[in-house]
Amino acid sequence: MRIIFELGGEVVIVKVMGHHILFANSTTNFQQFAPIDGLVLKKDGIIKEFPDLEGWEPGLMRKEAIRRFKEKIKTLDTEPKIQEYVIKEFTNMGWTLKTIQKEGFRPVKYGK
């Protein structure tokens, strides 16, 4: 399944394959998908999601945020629950859901 989000002209594609989540954006020309470990995470975004990490050294803060994200994904037992979680997290950060495409189906558009 592919979920496409947009924020201020930037587009991100989130690929959900079971409990594996990969990300692509214009930097990779939407051709290469990377796990969350390969993403640049902003300190403000991490603290917004995990306020208890404020004051941590940036490298440790990033590693802990990634660990918590992966653990959360492991607790979700179905792809629709993972999809719901990803959509909730991205929309909470200001991203707009544009499209969801399940494997073998046409994309379903959302928003404007």
Condensed to tens digits (0 to 9), the pLDDT of residues 37-72 reads: 887 788 888 888 889 999 999 999 999 999 999 999
Of the candidates 94, 63, 73, the one whose C-alpha atom is nearest the C-alpha of residue 21 is 73
Helix (H, G, I), strand (E, B) or coil at 101: strand
Helix (H, G, I), strand (E, B) or coil at 10: strand
Structural domain boundaries in the chain: 2-109
Residue 41: per-residue pLDDT: 82
pTM: 0.83
Tell me the average pLDDT across 16-33.
88
Which pair of structure tokens corresponds to residue 54? 């404020």
